[in-house]
A = this chain, B = another copy of it.
Amino acid sequence: MTPPNPPRTDARRHHDPETRGFASDNYAGAHPEILAALALANGGHQIAYGEDDYTAHLQQVIRGHFGATAEAFPVFNGTGANVTALQALTDRWGAVICADTAHINVDECGAPERVGGLKLLTVPTPDGKLTPELIDREAYGWDDEHRAMPQVVSITQNTELGTVYTPEEIRAICEHAHGLGMKVHLDGSRIANAAASLDVPMRTFTNRVGVDVLSLGGTKNGALFGEAVVVLNPDAVRHMKHLRKLSMQLASKMRFVSVQLEALLAKDLWLRNARHANEMAQRLAEGVRAVDGVEILHPVQANAVFARLPHDVSERLQQRYRFYFWDEAAGDVRWMCSFDTSADDVDSFIAALKEEMAAR
């Protein structure tokens, strides 16, 4: 991807581009086609703050995926997408029902509460997935002013535990939520992996089944940075542009966010990247299952593998490959595959795992 006569820059390379691990899909860099897209969009002047030609074109691409009423609002990152979306779907007195493992609950430093004044009503789940029954644990009290009013159900697809909702499961959630007067938000920071896993278009489990607003992920799918709030049900929101700006998610040179999403979504880069990551996770899971003493914890349906193994083995393995404990007390770890994970990476990792297990 590097041109033969690279343009000069005063920056220097500080890392080894051959080193890869299993810590997170955002440890990866950008897909080369993304960098090419940035170069395409560069040069000349384009209106700032979203009135550029790339953002205009992105709307066509998004409508191709999510139907004629969909509109994309590019933002910087996933937390920004989620909090902008949830503010759009709530009043000042609103609350959001979500799984207690939801990214909005555990990984955003309270941004939903602090920036949006949102109350989260959390529900424990076995696998990161809400159901109508689980929603009902918090879906009540709309007339009770002492209670933050449940106005949104927020689900994550695929979930933070690597599991994937079927379209039917999401449809049931949407019908239930809508029947109770609530809206549905889908945190799709890894939506591409879910679509690849289900082998269906993204619309099949979003607008087609009733999701109102979507946080569409780009970063973990191979972009440099960049996500979008995608409004699927225009009647559910107002003044998205103001909300994006006050949430500090308005890029001035937005063409560079939009063209990355175009590069991903215009054809199949989003799907190629996601399928590859998912396949590597399957390869990894298969290899791990063959190792005695290591237990796979959740169904491996996307690009994450959760496993339980002896703590000392994890620690030695972490000296060779970077990855995270999910629940250190229990000995649970998370291994993530990304668009640039190679089969060799996986095989070497499994070999290392075997060595460390054998060294006990």
- A residues sitting closer than 8 Å to B (CB atoms) are 1-21, 23-24, 26-30, 32-49, 52-54, 56-57, 76-80, 83, 87, 91-93, 95, 106-111, 113-115, 117-119, 122, 145-149, 219-220, 224-225, 238-239, 241-253, 255-257, 259-260, 262-263, 266-269, 322, 338, 340
Contacts and interface: CB of A to CB of B under 8 A. Distances in A.
A39 B9 CA distance: 10
Nearest to A105: B119
A120 to B, nearest CB: 8
A29 B11 CA distance: 19
A151 to B, nearest CB: 11
A146 B79 CA distance: 10
Q: Give the 5 A-B residue pairs with the shortest CB-CB distance, closest first.
A: A3-B3, A17-B43, A110-B119, A93-B242, A110-B148
Nearest to A266: B10
Given A20-B44, A48-B27, A54 B15 contact: yes
Contacts of A322: 45, 47
Given A146-B245, A245-B145, A6 B11 contact: no
A29 B7 contact: no
Contact of A253 (B15, B219, B241, B256): B219
A36 to B, nearest CB: 4
Contacts of A238: 91
A224 B93 contact: no
B45 A21 contact: yes
A108 B245 contact: yes
